[in-house]
Amino acid sequence: MKFLQKMSKDMKDRLITFGILFGAFLIVEILILTGGASRHLQAMLIPICINMLLAVSLNLTVGFLGELTLGHAGFMSVGAYAGCLFSIYCKDLLPVFIRYPLAMLIGGAVAAVFGILIGIPVLRLKGDYLAIVTLAFGEIIRSVIINLDFLGGAAGLKGTPQDATFISSFAVVVISVLLILNFLNSKSGRAIKSIRDNRIASESCGVQITYYKMLAFVFSAFFAGIAGVIYGHNLNILTADTFDYNKSIEILLIVVLGGMGSIRGSVIAAVIITALPEALRGLDKYRMVIYAVLLIAIMIFNSSEFGKRIREKYDPKKLFAKKNAVKKENADE
Given the complex with other proteins, which of 175 and 293 has the nearer CB atom? Answer: 293
Smallest gap from Cβ 39 to other proteins, in A, equals: 25
Q: What is the DSSP letter of 299?
A: H
Q: Which residues bind other proteins (CB under 8 A)?
A: 62, 68, 121, 124-126, 128-129, 131-133, 135-137, 139-140, 143-144, 146-147, 200, 245-246, 249, 252-253, 256-257, 260, 285-286, 288-289, 291-293, 295-296, 299-300, 302-304
Given the complex with other proteins, which of 105 and 276 has the nearer CB atom? Answer: 276
Smallest gap from Cβ 258 to other proteins, in A, equals: 11
Smallest gap from Cβ 49 to other proteins, in A, equals: 23
Given the complex with other proteins, which of 185 and 198 has the nearer CB atom? Answer: 198
Smallest gap from Cβ 136 to other proteins, in A, equals: 4
d(CA 301, CA 265): 17
Smallest gap from Cβ 257 to other proteins, in A, equals: 7
Helices and strands (H, E) in the chain, number of each type: 15, 2
Is residue 210 within 8 A of residue 192, CB to CB? The reply is no
d(CA 50, CA 159): 20
Given the complex with other proteins, which of 10 and 128 has the nearer CB atom? Answer: 128
Is residue 226 within 8 A of residue 172, CB to CB? The reply is yes
Given the complex with other proteins, which of 97 and 286 has the nearer CB atom? Answer: 286
d(CA 71, CA 125): 15
Exposed / middle / buried, residue 65 (Cβ in 10 Å: 0-12, 13-18, 19+) = buried
Given the complex with other proteins, which of 5 and 303 has the nearer CB atom? Answer: 303
Smallest gap from Cβ 171 to other proteins, in A, equals: 31
d(CA 240, CA 146): 6
Given the complex with other proteins, which of 171 and 290 has the nearer CB atom? Answer: 290
Smallest gap from Cβ 283 to other proteins, in A, equals: 11
Q: In sequence order, which residues have a C-beta less than 8 Å from that of residue 254 and are 6 or more positions away?
A: 51, 54, 55, 58, 266, 269, 270, 273
Please choose, from the candidates 110, 232, 111, the residue with its C-alpha nearest in 3D space to the C-alpha of residue 169: 232
Smallest gap from Cβ 75 to other proteins, in A, equals: 16
Given the complex with other proteins, which of 130 and 164 has the nearer CB atom? Answer: 130
Q: In sequence order, which residues have a C-beta less than 8 Å from that of residue 226 and are 6 or more positions away?
A: 53, 79, 104, 107, 108, 111, 172, 176
Q: Count how many Cα atoms sit within 13 Å of the Cα of residue 188 in the half-sphere of its side chain.
A: 17
d(CA 230, CA 222): 13
d(CA 239, CA 308): 42
